[in-house]
């Protein structure tokens, strides 16, 4: 066969071998993009509905308490004091009050306010006003839900204030009694709402959007999310313009690049797995102090990773990787082994001291988790109350698993703490259903103390919530004496942070505690 023909056939085969996979990849990316957009829209709608339903439950609970206290005059000092307590215990309600006609006669925020006409009846005895202004926030709109003259005031954007949504995603909450959304963001076509019909949820494509609607199982309401299809189309168009010409002239380079990118993407999970196998993880321990006495009463075990090159990898990087790739249960086991190695029989000699370890939702599903904890304690000659198991607010999103596991651990004597509190969306009623011992206030709220920022007021609400739940409190990230004094005066029992001690090897913790507990003459000689 002549050389030109061979070259031509080779070129044809090469173009076909490169072009067909690229065409297939583009078509698959379009299909997968629509599926991803559908899942994303359904996820947003479900999240919005969860917040709306939680808001509704708080409204019914809070107004129920006011209606049950009808013996008092509706605007008496005792009634207003009850309104303030209801307001404080509700994470979604901005204020509560009593309505006479179309006037808010009294409330937890004081003063009287004209509410305007009722928009529609949202249920038996329930009146809804969807766009009400108040002098305390002149540039914002609020919803007012009234039941038997008692009303709850909700920020209009609260149900759709989901931090994970892209700015172009449209969100809405609406009552099945009215086609006008009670709260919305972005473009909402009124015809979309009618597509729900009698279904519990529906996902469809309409013009430039993938739309998802989800019906509430508890209230006559539903949530909507619409994801722009241009995300999918723009991505597919850009991919086609880039891959087709490049693939025809540089197939080998493209294959190498894909292979290289895949290797890079898989490198970190593989490195985490290797780190677990090679023993590259270690623990530092940060002291937890009693704010009343200044004594070290425990530590939090903080996992660290030092690679064979000496490079330190931040936990914020490798812990999410371990969770995403199914390595987190093994990581928790390694942490428990490291605690056992570092602490030894220390807890047997200091039974009032504790070690806090972070656990994940996956640990709750691990059938051997409970037994591993007990076995480690036996080898350390320690008691269950020497361990505090810290789980984040987001880690408690599965209510059934959270209740069962926290209850089982508590029954066995382990202390359970909710970590980084205030960064999620836990309601008071949900936390009441869990078997918890400690509430750890996230450092972001501690940093705001004394700054005058709006977030600086949140810590006082968190403290009040912990008191209602009868939980001990541990403040994280305390760095100044002013912060420590602020917390102590308001009843926070414990704290950790650089004011008291940075994370350190357990040998330094042991030396500090033993020095304080040494007999007088020995301690003096040691000084």
Domain contains 493: yes
Query: Please, are residues 96 and 62 in contact by the beta-carbon 8 Å criterion?
Result: yes
Mean pLDDT over each residue of the chain, to the nearest integer = 82
User: pTM here?
Assistant: 0.51
Based on the structure, what is the number of domains in the chain? 2
Same domain flag for 212 and 333: no
Q: What is the pLDDT of residue 134?
A: 86
Structural domain containing residue 304: 280-526
- Give the three-class secondary structure for 408: helix
208 with 285, same domain? no
Distance CA 99, CA 118 (A): 12
Instruction: Please tell me the predicted confidence (pLDDT) of residue 213.
Output: 95
Supply the angle between the helices 458-469 and 77-89 in degrees, to the nearest 10. 100
Q: What local confidence, expressed as pLDDT, does residue 522 receive?
A: 45
Task: Provide the pairing of β-strand 312-313 with 296-306.
Answer: antiparallel
* Same domain assignment for residues 517 and 425: yes
Tokens representing residue 340 in the block: 């056992």
Q: Which residue has the higher pLDDT, 337 or 414?
A: 337
Q: What is the mean pLDDT of residues 104-115?
A: 89
Which is it for strands 113-114 and 103-107: parallel, antiparallel or unpaired?
Answer: antiparallel
The CA-atom distances, in angstroms, between 173 and each of 132, 140, 176, 461 are 17, 18, 10, 27
Q: Please check whether residues 197 and 314 belong to one and the same domain.
A: no
- For residue 440, pLDDT beyond 70: yes
Residue 19 has pLDDT above 90, yes or no: no
Q: Is residue 10 part of a domain?
A: no
Kindly tell me if the per-residue pLDDT of 32 is higher than 80.
no
Confidence at 3, pLDDT banded by 50, 70, 90: very low
Lowest mean pLDDT among 171-185, 235-249, 462-476: 235-249
Residue 98 within a domain: yes
CATH code for position 477: 3.20.20.450
Left, alpha or beta for 33 (phi > 0: left; psi -120 to 50: alpha)? alpha
453-477 confidence digits (pLDDT tens)? 766 678 888 888 888 888 999 999 9
Q: Is residue 271 part of a domain?
A: no
| CA 507 to chain centroid | 34
Residue 396 DSSP class: G
* Banded pLDDT at 367 (limits 50, 70, 90): confident
pLDDT at 2 over 50: no
Chain centre to alpha carbon of residue 291: 28
Q: Is 55 among the domain residues? A: yes
Nearest to 434 by CA among 464, 404, 413: 404
296 in the same domain as 216: no
User: Does 5 map to a domain?
Assistant: no
User: Residue 9 pLDDT more than 60?
Assistant: no
Angstrom distance (rounded) from CA 98 to CA 105: 6
């Amino acid at each position: 066969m002549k050389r030109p023909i061979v070259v031509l056939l080779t070129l044809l085969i090469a173009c076909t071998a490169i072009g067909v996979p690229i065409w297939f990849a583009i078509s698959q990316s379009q299909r997968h993009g629509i599926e991803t957009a559908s899942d994303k829209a359904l996820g947003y709608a479900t999240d919005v509905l969860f917040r709306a339903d939680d808001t509704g439950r708080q409204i019914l609970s809070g107004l129920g308490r006011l209606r049950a206290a009808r013996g008092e005059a509706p605007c008496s000092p005792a009634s207003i004091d009850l309104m303030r307590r209801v307001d404080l215990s509700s994470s979604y309600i901005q204020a509560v009050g009593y309505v006479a006609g179309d006037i808010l006669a009294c409330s937890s925020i004081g003063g009287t306010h004209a509410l305007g006409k009722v928009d529609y009846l949202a249920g038996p005895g329930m009146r809804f006003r969807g766009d009400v202004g108040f002098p305390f926030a002149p540039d914002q709109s609020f919803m007012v839900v009234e039941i038997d003259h008692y009303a709850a005031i909700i920020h209009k954007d609260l149900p759709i204030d989901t931090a994970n949504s892209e700015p172009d995603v449209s969100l809405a909450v609406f009552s099945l009694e009215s086609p006008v959304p009670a709260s919305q963001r972005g473009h909402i076509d009124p015809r979309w709402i009618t597509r729900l019909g009698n279904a519990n949820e529906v996902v469809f494509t309409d013009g430039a959007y993938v739309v998802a609607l989800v019906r509430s199982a508890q209230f006559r309401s539903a949530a909507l999310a619409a994801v722009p299809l241009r995300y999918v189309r723009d991505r597919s168009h850009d991919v086609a313009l880039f891959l087709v010409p490049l693939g025809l002239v540089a197939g080998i380079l493209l294959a190498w690049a894909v292979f290289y990118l895949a290797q890079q993407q898989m490198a970190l999970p593989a490195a985490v797995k290797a780190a677990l196998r090679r023993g590259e993880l270690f623990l530092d321990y940060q002291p937890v102090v009693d704010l009343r006495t200044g004594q070290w009463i425990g530590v939090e075990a903080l996992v660290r990773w030092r690679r064979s090159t000496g490079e330190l990898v931040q936990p914020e990087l490798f812990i999410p990787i371990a969770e995403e790739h199914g390595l987190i249960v093994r990581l928790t086991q390694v942490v428990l082994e490291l605690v056992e190695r570092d602490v030894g029989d220390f807890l047997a000699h200091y039974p009032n001291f504790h070690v806090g370890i972070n656990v994940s939702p996956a640990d709750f599903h691990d059938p051997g988790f409970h037994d591993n904890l007990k076995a480690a304690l036996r080898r350390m000659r320690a008691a269950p109350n020497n361990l505090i198991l810290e789980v984040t607010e987001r880690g408690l999103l599965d209510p059934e698993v959270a209740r069962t596991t926290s209850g089982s651990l508590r029954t066995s004597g382990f202390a359970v703490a909710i970590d980084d509190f205030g960064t999620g969306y836990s309601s008071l009623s949900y936390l009441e259903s869990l078997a918890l011992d400690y509430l750890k206030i996230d450092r972001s709220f501690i940093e705001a103390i004394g700054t005058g920022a709006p977030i600086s007021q949140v810590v006082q609400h968190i403290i009040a919530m912990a008191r209602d739940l009868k939980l001990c409190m541990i403040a994280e990230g305390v760095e100044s004496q002013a912060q420590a004094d602020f917390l102590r005066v308001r009843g926070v029992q414990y704290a950790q942070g650089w004011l008291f001690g940075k994370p350190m090897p357990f040998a330094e913790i042991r030396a500090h505690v033993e020095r304080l507990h040494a007999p007088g003459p020995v301690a003096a000689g040691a000084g």
